[in-house]
Amino acid sequence: MTNHLFDAFRSRMPAPDRLLMEADDGRSITYGDMLAGSARLAHALLQADVKPSDRVAVQVEKSPEAVLLYLACLRAGAVFLPLNTAYTLAELKYFFGDAEPRLVVCDPARAAEIEALATNTGAATVTLDSNGQGSLMDQASRLPSEFHDVARGPDDLAAILYTSGTTGRSKGAMLSHENLASNARVLVEYWRFGADDVLIHALPIFHTHGLFVATNVILMAGAKMLFERKFDPARIVSLLPGATALMGVPTFYVRLLQQDGMTKEAAKGMRLFISGSAPLLAETHKAWRERTGHAILERYGMTETNMNTSNPYDGERRAGTVGFPLPGVAARIADPDTGNPVAQGEIGMIEVKGPNVFAGYWRMPEKTKAEFRNDGFFITGDLGLIDADGYVHIVGRGKDLIISGGYNVYPKEIESEIDALDGVSESAVIGIAHPDFGEGVTAVVVRKPGATVDAADIAAAIAGRLAKYKHPKKVIFAEELPRNTMGKVQKNVLRETYKDIYGKAG
Ligand code: MCA
Ligand code: AMP
């Protein structure tokens, strides 16, 4: 047997001296460096007693080494478990307890506190940094540059990515080698990536978009990425002349439009701008087209499914839609309650099926079962329709979810923290139209009679508990929350009441 996903990359690998990454610190990493570096790190993982199917949890800043570590995990047969660098210790504690990683890889600045936490769940901790003595890179530097890849089949797990739940605990989405390989293969074809492409990569690499869409596509195409640690709009504009493609969340495009240098001339050599992870406003699509002459290509995916639909490469890229089901992916619109297909053009639940769809939630067979129909379609939680021309439109969410700057935020998690505070009677967390982040996380809080709890108290209580991007941008105090006759809080009423607090909604 072979190593399914890594072999797929290897089979399309260009000459070893071709560049895979040009990093913003001036370093260049060739495909040959990638092969040698991931081999050395794979040896280091084995030395750290990582066995096939063991989870390797990774919370590190974006760097070329982090990409090599991902590939090393694949080659060693381990399951890569990337974690957002914004996660607090309280959040990490849950992930470590649930995933039971064999090894936790982190940055030196957090090593002490993370080690204390990881030890409790039986995991060893190591840093990745290039300079640190005893770090994974340090150990790897003394190990062979060739590695006999551990055999992995199409259905073996390659990664677990946590996605928060509408109620209760985060769920680990289990992604197999073939889930990732099939999607990367399809995207390379559909978006016409080739060895001469140069992708500006400015997304984080701990979520699907930056890791599996951007990085896997480049590896599968044998192409190159300009590897940026952070999204800096002025710098992106300066990189455009040396690039051919950009992938980003809508906030990238909103911020780029604020740059005077973002002109037709600057975008002249670019062939493709792709957007996803959150709805791209039609007005942003239009403004981009007027300014640069390019129609942004919007696509739709999920952690559980990788990419499901995409606007066409040739043909009309229709603003406000997410295009057609990708080749090999079936998408349908069903009645949310019964699962029966709705009439053409009607709104219902978007359901998908295909080799891209995940293997289930880690150690949650009941939750997994609840999210699939009997015929194998996955229930996305997104509400949409398919128009007469076959374009999929996402019109809302059946799940209580806020997407801020491309990051998913589940209100329940924040409401639980706020409700636990002395002086708080209850709260509702909602997403309100925000000019930069798309939606702004907003808390509406009802105090207990006589209580004086204020916004600063709430901010202080959340600070050490939840990642920064989940913190409410505004806290509003209200006398009561609107409820329907069943007693359920009417978040739609709240969203309407406060719709202009970040500026007039468009
Ligand atoms: C940073 N902050 C945020 C966000 N990012 N607050 C809300 N939402 C955010 N997304 C906080 C910072 O901590 C900071 O707080 C303040 O907001 C302003 O920071 P700023 O410097 O403006 O932020 P930034 O560092 O420039 O980041 C903005 C960003 C970033 C570049 C848009 O959020 C980002 O890279 N987003 C992409 C996320 C992503 O990759 N999603 C894909 C998930 P303070 O000032 O108080 O310190 S995968 C997915 O969704 C599916 C599968 C799919 O289809 O792709
Ligand atoms: P995640 O849980 O991070 O995988 O986020 C997946 C969710 O992001 C989807 O279920 C959608 O609600 C949303 N999403 C992704 N791409 C788009 C898009 N192009 N337009 C609207 N929503 C999107």
Q: Per-residue pLDDT tens for 95-130?
A: 999 999 999 999 999 999 999 999 999 999 999 987
Amino acid, res. 366:
E
| Residue with CA nearest ligand 2 atom 9 | 302
Ligand 2 center from residue 302 Cα (angstroms): 5
- 10 Å CB burial of residue 41 (0-12, 13-18, 19+) is buried
Q: Is the pLDDT of residue 458 over 70?
A: yes
Ligand 2 center from residue 301 Cα (angstroms): 6
Mean pLDDT of 250-257: 98
The torsion defined by the Cα of 318, 322, 325 and 330, in degrees rounded to 10, comes to -140
Tell me the ligand closest to 212's alpha carbon: 1
- 300, two tokens: 């739709």
Percent of the chain with pLDDT over 90: 95
Which residue, among 78, 63, 92, has the nearest Cα to 162 in the 3D structure? Answer: 92
| Residue with CA nearest ligand 1 atom 4 | 469
Q: Is the pLDDT of residue 89 over 90?
A: yes
- 428, two tokens: 């509702």
Q: Which atom of ligand 2 is nearest the CA belonging to 275?
A: 19
Mean pLDDT of 198-224: 98
Q: Which atom of ligand 1 is nearest the CA belonging to 409?
A: 8
Ligand 2 center from residue 308 Cα (angstroms): 10
pLDDT of the residue at 239: 98
Q: Is the pLDDT of residue 166 over 80?
A: no
Q: Is the pLDDT of residue 244 over 80?
A: yes
With contact defined as beta carbons under 8 Å apart, do 105 and 57 qualify? yes
Rounded-to-integer distance, Cα 21 and Cα 25, Å: 11
Query: Per-residue pLDDT tens for 49-79?
Result: 999 999 999 999 999 999 999 999 999 999 9
Can you tell me which residue has the tokens 């590190």?
60
Tell me the ligand closest to 201's alpha carbon: 1
With contact defined as beta carbons under 8 Å apart, do 502 and 277 qualify? no
Rounded-to-integer distance, Cα 101 and Cα 104, Å: 7
CA atoms 310, 313, 314, 319: torsion sign = positive
Residues belonging to the chain: 506
With contact defined as beta carbons under 8 Å apart, do 310 and 273 qualify? no
Mean pLDDT of 148-168: 90
If you average pLDDT over every residue of the chain, what do you get? 96
pLDDT of the residue at 275: 98
| Residue with CA nearest ligand 2 atom 6 | 302
| Residue with CA nearest ligand 2 atom 10 | 302
Q: Which atom of ligand 2 is nearest the CA belonging to 394?
A: 21
Q: Is the pLDDT of residue 310 over 70?
A: yes
Ligand 1 center from residue 278 Cα (angstroms): 12
With contact defined as beta carbons under 8 Å apart, do 157 and 176 qualify? yes
pLDDT of the residue at 168: 63
Rounded-to-integer distance, Cα 209 and Cα 404, Å: 15
Q: Which atom of ligand 1 is nearest the CA belonging to 437?
A: 8
- 291, two tokens: 């300014």
Can you tell me which residue has the tokens 């919370």?
59
- 8, two tokens: 């797929």
DSSP class per residue in 24-37: TTS-EEEHHHHHHH
Query: Per-residue pLDDT tens for 483-503?
Result: 999 899 999 999 999 999 999
* Pocket lining for ligand 1, CB < 6 angstroms: 203-204, 207-210, 231, 249, 251, 276-277, 301-303, 404-407, 437, 468-469
Ligand 2 center from residue 124 Cα (angstroms): 34
Q: Which atom of ligand 2 is nearest the CA belonging to 305?
A: 4
Tell me the ligand closest to 309's alpha carbon: 2
Q: Is the pLDDT of residue 165 over 70?
A: no
Ligand 2 center from residue 235 Cα (angstroms): 27
Q: Is the pLDDT of residue 506 over 60?
A: no
Ligand 1 center from residue 257 Cα (angstroms): 17
Rounded-to-integer distance, Cα 280 and Cα 320, Å: 7
Ligand 1 center from residue 440 Cα (angstroms): 11
Mean pLDDT of 85-90: 95
Rounded-to-integer distance, Cα 121 and Cα 346, Å: 48
Q: Is the pLDDT of residue 460 over 70?
A: yes
With contact defined as beta carbons under 8 Å apart, do 67 and 50 qualify? no
**504: three-class secondary structure by DSSP:** coil
Ligand 1 center from residue 279 Cα (angstroms): 15
pLDDT of the residue at 133: 86
pLDDT of the residue at 345: 97
Rounded-to-integer distance, Cα 165 and Cα 126, Å: 29
With contact defined as beta carbons under 8 Å apart, do 63 and 23 qualify? yes
Rounded-to-integer distance, Cα 280 and Cα 278, Å: 6
Is the beta carbon of 222 within 6 A of some atom in ligand 2?
A: no
Query: Per-residue pLDDT tens for 386-417?
Result: 999 999 999 998 888 999 999 999 999 999 99
pLDDT of the residue at 174: 98
Q: Is the pTM of this model over 0.75?
A: yes
Q: Which atom of ligand 1 is nearest the CA belonging to 208?
A: 48
Question: How far, CA to CA in Å, does 381 sit from each of 302, 346, 392, 398?
Answer: 10, 16, 15, 5
Question: How far, CA to CA in Å, does 455 sit from each of 88, 442, 443, 447?
Answer: 20, 11, 10, 11
Which residue, among 126, 97, 115, 102, has the nearest Cα to 50 in the 3D structure? Answer: 102
Tell which one of 179, 409, 468 to mutate to probe ligand 1, the residue whose CB is within 8 A of the most ligand atoms: 468
Is the beta carbon of 272 within 6 A of some atom in ligand 2?
A: no
Ligand 2 center from residue 382 Cα (angstroms): 8
Question: How far, CA to CA in Å, does 8 sit from each of 4, 74, 177, 182, 322?
Answer: 6, 12, 10, 10, 27
Rounded-to-integer distance, Cα 409 and Cα 94, Å: 17
With contact defined as beta carbons under 8 Å apart, do 319 and 285 qualify? yes
With contact defined as beta carbons under 8 Å apart, do 319 and 348 qualify? no
Contact partners, residue 295, CB within 8 Å, separation at least 6: 285, 288, 289, 317
Indicate the pairing of strand 402-404 with strand 392-397: unpaired
